Structure 1
Amino acid sequence: MYQRFRRSSRLGLTAGALAASAIAPLPLNAAPPEEAPNRLKEAIENIETAANKGDLETVIQYYSSDFSHEDGFDRAQFQQKLNQLWQQYSDLNYETELTSWEESDEGLVATTRTHLTGSQQREERTIRLDATVVSRQVYQDGQITYQETLSEKTHLYSGENPPQVTVNVPETVTVGRSYNFDVIVEEPLREDKLAGTAFDESVLSDKYLQPTSFDLELLPAGGLYKVGRATVVENTYWVSGAIVRGGGITMVNHRIHFRKQ
């Protein structure tokens, strides 16, 4: 885990509530999206349309009453978190793409990629959200019974000129091994000074949409470079970094899976 960080000033938000997750069997013979049954494509399109309208009642109808996933959500908790997210980001825009699918004994297994953008006002600041979530859902009788988040990345921007960054971090790490987490500032800094920090925290349902507090440290030119180590047990973490300069703030949040070989 990361060393030399503390938590004090409040900043941060994860967009993980957009993609519920559960351990599901990997599709062995995934088929291309154009071959998917119409009922599956229509369900995904209807969820996207309802989400863009903020129609929570319609969205939740596509989730089974026994829906669950590894982050700790049941259907009622998912509905509550989604409603909270939409209150914070009233202008969220969803773009969902079906990337593959398979028919299994448990139902139709679909892999989707969802891109989200939106903004919110917080303490006279505008915070802009850009997130991409790749997930796998199992549909039974037209409803999602459970879902696995394959990858998740969220970028938040605040200020007139927040740092534009490239993030290098693996999606999966073998337990017990180290990994690099780099947040690299793309444009020349000129006279700007950088401050920032990195931290990680386990993916738990009670941490969704909760601000995280941290202290900043002066950074060398170029960005944030940290080395982490995967825990000795399988788990899923959010790995986050924040970079601040005179023109604004950029915060990144990526999901990382610690897995046994």
Structure 2
Amino acid sequence: MIKKKKKLKTILNFSLLFIFSFYFSLQRLNPVTAQNNLNTEIIELITRIDSASNNRDIDTLREYISPQFSSEDGLNNESFLSTLEQLWTNYPNLRYSTTINSSEQNQQRLMVNTTTTIEGSRQENGETVNMVSEITARQTFENQQLIAQEILTEKTRVTTGENPPQITFRLPQTARAGQVFDFDAIVEDPIGNSLILGGVKEEAVNPSSLANPQPMELDALSAGGIFKRVTISEGDHWYSAVFIRDDGTTMITQRVRVE
């Protein structure tokens, strides 16, 4: 059990780092989509950002991130770039696929909405940790620099082992402050006589959640999942569930955006 808890803490740290660092999501673009939605200048800018990101060239990226960069989640220029470097250290083989959904010119500013899928893996304690995430974001550019970013939706799945549990999440993507809703994390595989541990947690989205992730209590499950009714407070929140058994572990984290 001690080994399982240690592994769980490691996975949680990596997952939050992955989510928190992924805000810079303009990495690989579908050329046809880009040509249909954006002018040549922004296409060239994003291409340069793409090249710098794939080359882990933090000095070049600094040229494209405004000193006044900010996000709703509390990131500024310095914290954004340092966290990105840490992500590259932990996941050297990240693969990105981004589609531009829409763009809008507002005087000197260009707002771009994207959907990005990112996949990566790393070795940890002799095991392969796999991650898949999908995120939609709204980026604002001015004078060829990223000045603001807003995460609209976000969901990340982290797995280890030969046969990680198949999990279904039932959770709204948006809510109002004070709204009550059901948070269901369902194990699709039959539990049978096998032992499976599970737990859930809720965290406000902010830099301190990354630096000091809260522990998750695990219990042996007698039913096929965990079902809770929660009340969300102000600000976006991450909802996470993890399920561990001998042949695999699955963790899912989803953002609920408070509007």
Q: TM-score, normalised by structure 1?
A: 0.84
> 5 Å matches for 1:40-55?
40-55=42-57
| 1:1-261 matched pairs, under 5 angstroms | 10-11=9-10, 12=12, 13-14=15-16, 15-19=19-23, 34-105=36-107, 107-208=109-210, 211-231=213-233, 234-259=234-259
Tell me, in whole angstroms, the C-alpha distance in 2 between the residues paired with 1:211 and 1:134: 23
Whole-angstrom CA distance in 2 between matches of 1:237 and 1:44: 29
CA–CA distance in 2 between the matches of 1:171 and 1:112? 16
| SS at structure 2 position matched to 1:182 | strand
Say which SS state the counterpart of residue 194 (structure 2) adopts: coil
Contact 2:95 2:120 in 1 (8 A): yes
The one-letter code matched in structure 2 to 1:146 is A
Q: Distance in 2 between matches of 1:47 and 1:190?
A: 50
Partner letter of residue 242 of structure 1?
V
Seen in structure 2, the aligned counterparts of structure 1 residues 42 and 186 have a Cα distance that, compared at 3 Å, is: farther
Shift of 1:218: 1.8
TM-score norm. by structure 2 comes to 0.84
Contact 1:181/1:225 (8 A) holds in 2? yes
Distance in 2 between the 1:94 and 1:60 partners?
20
Equivalent pair of 2:200/2:217 in contact (CA under 8 Å): no
Tell me, yes or no, if the aligned pair for 1:194 and 1:223 is still in contact at 8 Å. no
Shift in CA distance, 36/240, structure 1 to aligned 2, threshold 3 Å = same
- State whether residues 194 and 245 of structure 1, in contact with CA within 8 Å, keep that contact through their aligned partners in structure 2: yes
RMSD: 2.3
Deviations 1:89-134 (A, max 9, x none): 1111122221111011350100011211111222222211111111
Which structure has more relative contact order (CA 8 Å, sep 6+)? It is 1
Query: Residue type of the partner of 2:203?
Result: E
Distance 1:140 1:117 in 2: 29
- Matches of 1:219 and 1:227 in 2, distance apart? 18
Q: Which structure has the highest helix share of the two? A: 2
Q: Percent identity?
A: 32
State the SS of the aligned residue for 1:214: coil
Structure 2: tracts of 5 or more residues without a match: 26-32
| Unaligned ranges ≥5, structure 1 | 1-6, 22-31
Contact 2:130/2:159 (CA < 8 Å) preserved in 1? yes
Aligned length: 241
Confirm or deny: 8 A CA contact 1:20 1:69 kept in the other structure: no
